[in-house]
Amino acid sequence: MTTPALHAQFDEATNTISYVVWDPATRHAAVIDPVLDYDHRAGRASYRSVDTLLGFVADHDLVVVWILETHAHADHLSAAPYLKEKTGALIGIGERITHVQRTFAPVFGLDDVSGDGREFDRLFRDGDVFPLGELQVDVLHTPGHTPACVSYRIGDAVFVGDTLFMPDYGTARADFPGGDARTLYRSIQKLLALPPETALYLCHDYKAPGRDHYAWETTVADEKARNVHVGGDVDEDSFVAMREARDATLPAPALLLPSLQVNLRAGRLPEPEANGVRYLKIPLKIQGSRQEERTA
């Protein structure tokens, strides 16, 4: 099986890994999960990270033809529109993004979110295949963390988004609306059914206790043998009990609210208002109020 060329870029502010993946024969490339630099305290965004990726692309004479999102991220803002403006590449995501849009657009009062995914150029179904130069990209629907999660298999490498972490860290949370621990377990088993030598590339790393460096590449064999949540003979019911108990203790991601309302729009920022300023919304519920009781 063909091995694609790839470059990983780690964003420590969000613990996110973005990838440039390309066909060595044609130099056609995909960028997976690009990050917009966003300072929540200052209300300031920049394109430093994605400009670094574009510099790598230019230095290696690559032609970016795809911008691939593994899901609607809740922990960083996507830089997909800026990357599309600079390269002309198409933005793709799993077709169940429509479910995520319809779930969260009313939360933020986003009347400009379609609910049918038209903000993206391509909505992928499970089993879809499309070219990257002379390489083939296979789409695997891997829901559970969110209903729209997909993994991209390119040659002997699979980009799994948030479905799995390094073996010493485990698996993704499944408590967001539309997420489900049992569905996540089955998606993980789908990935672990791939050939043992298959390389898995992760979207995040947080350094497991006792590890002093970031890591984002593993294999099916390593995950099956050593993953602290699903490795060995962990059965579905045991995983679900562990995952649900663990998720009940986790705080919301720091950038949940800004990330979702931007990423539902394929990374497009809100339009400026009459004063020329763009605004993100923060839904506010007052505990103990009648409004809280009505929306609980």
Task: Report residue 158's pLDDT band, with 50, 70 and 90 as the boundaries.
Answer: very high
3-state secondary structure 238-262: HHHHHHHHHHCCCCCCCCHHHHHHH
Question: Model pTM?
Answer: 0.95
- In the chain, % of residues over pLDDT 90: 94
84 touches 47 (CB < 8 A):
no
CATH for the stretch 5-295: 3.60.15.10
| Angle formed at CA 225 by CA 153 and CA 163, multiple of 5 degrees | 40
**Which parts of 88-175 fold into alpha helices (H)?**
97-108
Residue 182: its H or E element: helix 181-192
Task: Report residue 292's pLDDT band, with 50, 70 and 90 as the boundaries.
Answer: low
158 touches 152 (CB < 8 A):
yes
146 CB-contact burial (10 Å; exposed 0-12 / middle 13-18 / buried 19+): buried
Q: What are the pLDDT digits (tens) for 196-234? A: 999 999 999 999 999 999 999 999 999 999 999 999 989
Residue 222, helix vs strand vs coil: helix
Average pLDDT, integer, range 140-145: 98
User: For all residues of the chain together, what is the average pLDDT?
Assistant: 95
239 CB-contact burial (10 Å; exposed 0-12 / middle 13-18 / buried 19+): buried
Q: Which two tokens stand for residue 184?
A: 């996540």
Sign of CA dihedral 32, 190, 155, 214: positive
Task: Report residue 285's pLDDT band, with 50, 70 and 90 as the boundaries.
Answer: confident
Q: What are the pLDDT digits (tens) for 93-134? A: 999 999 999 999 999 999 999 999 999 999 999 999 999 999
Whether pLDDT at 290 is above 80 = no
Residue in 160, 148, 153 with CA at minimum distance from that of residue 124: 148
Q: What are the pLDDT digits (tens) for 253-269? A: 999 999 999 999 999 99
The pLDDT value recorded for residue 286 is 86
The pLDDT value recorded for residue 296 is 46
Per-residue CA distances from 81 to 47, 50, 66, 143, 266 (Å): 11, 11, 12, 24, 7
* Cβ partners under 8 Å of residue 51, min gap 6: none
- In the chain, % of residues over pLDDT 70: 97
Residue found under tokens 């995983």: 239
Residue 43, helix vs strand vs coil: coil
Q: Which two tokens stand for residue 44?
A: 């300031």
Task: Report residue 271's pLDDT band, with 50, 70 and 90 as the boundaries.
Answer: very high
124 touches 139 (CB < 8 A):
yes
Residue 164, helix vs strand vs coil: strand
- Where exactly are the structural domains of the chain? 5-295
Q: What are the pLDDT digits (tens) for 31-73? A: 999 999 999 999 999 999 999 999 999 999 999 999 999 999 9
Q: What is the dihedral of CA 66, 269, 112, 116, to 10 degrees?
A: 20
Residue 45: its H or E element: strand 44-46
Q: How far apart are CA 54 and CA 51, in angstroms?
A: 5
Residue in 34, 146, 154 with CA at minimum distance from that of residue 99: 146
The pLDDT value recorded for residue 151 is 98
Residue 85, helix vs strand vs coil: helix
